[in-house]
Amino acid sequence: MSAAVTISIDAMGGDAAPDMVVEGVRMAHERLPHVRYLMFGDSARLEPLLARFPEIKGVCTIHHTDEAVSMEAKPSQVLRTGRKSSMWLAVDAVQKGEAAGIVSAGNTGALMAVSKFVLRTLPGIDRPAIAGMFPTIRGETLMLDLGANVDCNSNNLVEFAVMGEVYARHVLGLEKPSIGLLNVGAEDMKGNDAVKAAAATLREYHLPIDFRGFVEGNDICGGAVDVVVTDGFTGNIALKTAEGTVKLYSTFLKEAFKSSLLAKIGYLLAGHAINKVKVRTDPRRYNGAMFLGLNGIAVKSHGGTDAFGFANAVGVAVELVTHGFNDRIRKEFDRLKPTEASLSQLAAGSR
């Protein structure tokens, strides 16, 4: 039997909260019966929702607060005035040791700011990164950063590579995951100074990483490597472009199959195959972006997701806790301490 795990939930975060959040917890409970939940939010709204699902009342504890972080709130504003919000209290429960991880579908910038302020970063890590999974021809690829750090130096990129490699090895179960740096070309002379310096570090300092060099945008979904490393500016654009492309092709397919009687018959004949593609590319299956590098587990669910997607985000948090991800990150960075001076020099030169 799995050991008990407690996850704190920002019950008021997300476009359809708290209804979607409670339903998502119910779905997660079906797969993860050993998990308990601390739900932070308006008890007047949460209690009737939990009453509809008696199967989870025994694993959920409501912590009342009237305050919630809006999707439009600025991170700086939340840091000044949001200490009684459901988001802040849910993160604080991790810092106090009351929960092993936190899941929120709320404001991404605010969640990162609060998480970094309350939990701090792990020793040896300058900045946390947002990591997420992409479906590929070969299976799945982990990509980071997806938006936490718009500007990165070479040291940040090397840290992202180490964190991504540890996640792929211990959580995804890959024996020797391959790492690539996202660039405008595969040639060594291409790219900005930070990307070039990070590549030099990963090649020259004999880090225990299977570094494959530079990869391009079309290599992400091609599955060229197991982990794609980039800055948050480029990563977020790549993520939103991929999401938009999926919606575009879905729209085109729907229009094409409605265009004629023959097309509708074709849809009926190809329905099973189309559904397989739909399931494989369903963004809800990959919901749950991880804030890697924090001194605590924090997972961001897409704000517009449904209960199924939120349940998957909860599953991501439980996986990180179960695999002792942060302890493994600490050990990896302890092993890299002899190279820290060299890494810092390279980072300084790339600023």
Residue 351 has pLDDT above 50, yes or no: no
Residues 113, 138, single domain; the answer is: no
Q: Report pLDDT for 156.
A: 93
Q: Report pLDDT for 188.
A: 80
Residues 104, 133, single domain; the answer is: no
DSSP secondary structure code for residue 3 in this structure: P
Q: Report pLDDT for 350.
A: 44
Residue 339 has pLDDT above 80, yes or no: no
Q: Which of 105, 118, 133, 329 is nearest to 223 (CA)?
A: 133
Domain count, the chain: 2
Residues 159, 95, single domain; the answer is: no
62-73 mean pLDDT: 95
Residue 297 has pLDDT above 90, yes or no: yes
Is 303 inside any structural domain? no
Is 309 inside any structural domain? no
39-52 mean pLDDT: 95
Residues 114, 134, single domain; the answer is: no
* Residue type present at position 10: D
Which one is predicted more confidently, 5 or 254? 5
From the CB of residue 21, how many other CB atoms can be counted at a distance below 10 Å? Answer: 30
**Residue-wise burial string across 255-268, b where 16 or more C-beta atoms lie within 10 A, e elsewhere:** eebeeeeeeeeeee
Residues 200, 266, single domain; the answer is: yes
* Residue type present at position 268: L
> How far apart, in Å, are the Cα atoms of 300 and each of 64, 102, 134, 170, 297?
21, 9, 16, 20, 10
Residues 95, 131, single domain; the answer is: no
Q: Report pLDDT for 300.
A: 94
Whether the upstream peptide bond of residue 54 has omega within 30° of 0, thus cis, is: no
Residues 158, 281, single domain; the answer is: yes
Q: Report pLDDT for 249.
A: 83
Last residue of a domain, one of 69, 99, 119: 119
162-174 mean pLDDT: 88
Residue 80 has pLDDT above 80, yes or no: yes
Last residue of a domain, one of 85, 119, 153: 119
Is 162 inside any structural domain? yes
Q: Report pLDDT for 92.
A: 97
Q: Report pLDDT for 120.
A: 93
Rounded-to-10 torsion of CA 220, 225, 229, 233: 0
Q: Report pLDDT for 342.
A: 53
Residues 82, 171, single domain; the answer is: no
Is 92 inside any structural domain? yes
Q: What is the pLDDT of residues 174-193, one digit of tens each?
A: 889 999 999 998 888 888 89
Which one is predicted more confidently, 293 or 285? 293
Residues 59, 142, single domain; the answer is: no
- How do 101-104 and 5-10 pair as beta strands? parallel
Tokens 């599953």 locate to: 315
Residues 112, 202, single domain; the answer is: no
Which strands, in side-by-side order, build the sheet including 289-292? 60-64, 35-41, 5-10, 101-104, 297-300, 289-292, 129-135, 140-144, 227-229, 178-182, 210-215
Is 291 inside any structural domain? no
Q: Which of 104, 169, 92 is nearest to 130 (CA)?
A: 104
Tokens 């039997």 locate to: 1
Region of residue 120 (phi > 0: left; psi between -120 and 50: alpha; otherwise: beta):
left
Contacts of 336 by beta carbon, 8 Å cutoff, 6+ apart? 124, 162, 207, 343
Residue 52 has pLDDT above 70, yes or no: yes
Residues 165, 112, single domain; the answer is: no
Q: What is the pLDDT of residues 198-242, one digit of tens each?
A: 999 888 876 678 899 999 999 998 999 999 999 999 999 998 898
Domain extent, residue 146, equals 125-286+325-351
* Residue type present at position 135: P
Q: What is the pLDDT of residues 96-147, one digit of tens each?
A: 999 999 999 999 999 999 999 999 998 878 889 999 988 888 888 999 999 8
Residue 160 has pLDDT above 60, yes or no: yes
Q: Report pLDDT for 347.
A: 46
Measure the CA–CA gap between 310 and 301, rounded to whole angstroms. 6
Is 320 inside any structural domain? no
Which residues is 38 bridged to in the sheet? 8, 61
Q: What percent of the chain has pLDDT over 90?
A: 57
Please classify residue 287 by burial: count the beta carbons closer than 10 Å to its beta carbon, then call 0-12 exposed, 13-18 middle and 19+ buried. Answer: buried
Model pTM score:
0.84
Is 70 inside any structural domain? yes
Residues 190, 43, single domain; the answer is: no
Q: Rounded to an integer, what is the distance from CA 166 to the centroid of its chain?
A: 15
CB 23 within 8 A of CB 46: no
Last residue of a domain, one of 119, 149, 172: 119
Residue 194 has pLDDT above 80, yes or no: yes
CATH number assigned to the domain comprising residue 201: 3.40.718.10
Residue 290 has pLDDT above 50, yes or no: yes
Residue 346 has pLDDT above 50, yes or no: no
